[in-house]
């Protein structure tokens, strides 16, 4: 499963220059996609009515099978999103992220934005150029970030909107530290120390068995 390191992910998040309309939008899209572990369809499908900025920032995500999940946003993500909303402008499109024509951002449009900024980020972090960066790679990277922070697969499953825990278990095969920490947290049973005491009867029985075994071996 392809995923990014923390350094690679940070380089991509830092790639958009927030000095203009497109840079502010792209930075917000990347932050929201990564922080929420969103599929491309979930990201471009977000509507203004799905956002809540008070008392804390959160977003309602409409996932597969009509499943919904409400996710709190990190402070950095909330700041990037607020900056975008302040320059988005008043348009009739209900989706949060729009293109230059004021229409809803498409999946292919976001994939283009991601590839563009991944190319820019690869100059500061060359290892990115050896990976195929896609929206789902950001989703996997977010899942591993949550898993490493919480060490709880149930929380990762809720964060991703998985219908089954079996789907989430694949992340433990990537992050072996989760298994090691689980092993270290279990107190192993202790063995009682002591001396072995053999009775005369037991010793005689063992000697007889040994002599019988040797006779059988010699006789073969």
Q: Is the pLDDT of residue 178 over 50?
A: no
pLDDT of residue 211: 61
Mean pLDDT of 109-120: 96
Contacts of 26 (CB under 8 A, 6+ apart): 16, 113, 117
Helices (H), 96-151: 107-124, 135-150
pLDDT tens readout for residues 131-168:
999 998 998 888 888 777 777 667 777 666 665 555 55
Rounded Cα–Cα distance for residues 61 and 47 (Å): 9
**CA end-to-end distance (rounded Å), the chain:** 59
Strand partners, 68: 62
Mean pLDDT of 71-75: 87
pLDDT: which is higher, 110 or 219: 110
The label of the residue with tokens 């006779």 reads: 215
Contact status, residue 8 vs residue 128, Cβ threshold 8 Å? yes
Catalytic positions, written as ranges: 39, 64, 136, 139, 162, 171
Q: What percent of the chain has pLDDT over 70?
A: 69
Contact status, residue 46 vs residue 95, Cβ threshold 8 Å? yes
pLDDT of residue 98: 96
Domains of the chain: 6-181 (1.10.443.10)
| Cα dihedral: 102, 103, 109, 110 (round 10) | 80
pLDDT band at 220 (very low <50, low <70, confident <90, very high): low
């Amino acid at each position: 499963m392809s995923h990014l390191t923390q350094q690679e992910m940070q380089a991509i998040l830092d790639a958009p220059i927030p000095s203009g309309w497109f840079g502010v939008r792209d930075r917000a899209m990347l932050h929201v996609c990564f922080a929420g572990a969103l599929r491309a369809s979930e990201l471009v499908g977000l509507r203004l009515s799905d956002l809540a900025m008070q008392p804390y920032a959160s977003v309602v995500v409409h996932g597969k099978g009509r499943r919904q999940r409400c996710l709190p946003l990190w402070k950095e993500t909330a700041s990037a999103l607020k900056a975008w909303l302040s320059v988005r402008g008043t348009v009739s499109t209900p989706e949060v992220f729009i293109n230059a024509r004021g229409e809803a951002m498409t999946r292919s449009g976001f994939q283009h934005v991601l590839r563009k900024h991944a190319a820019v980020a690869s100059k500061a972090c060359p290892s990115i150029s050896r990976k195929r960066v896609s929206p789902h790679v950001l989703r996997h990277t977010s899942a591993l970030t949550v898993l490493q922070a919480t060490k709880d697969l149930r929380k990762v499953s809720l964060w991703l909107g998985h219908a089954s825990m079996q789907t989430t278990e694949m992340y433990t095969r990537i992050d072996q530290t989760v298994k090691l920490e689980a092993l270290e947290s279990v107190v192993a049973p202790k063995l009682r120390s002591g001396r072995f005491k053999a009775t005369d009867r037991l010793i005689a029985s063992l000697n007889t068995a040994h002599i019988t075994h040797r006779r059988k071996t010699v006789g073969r």
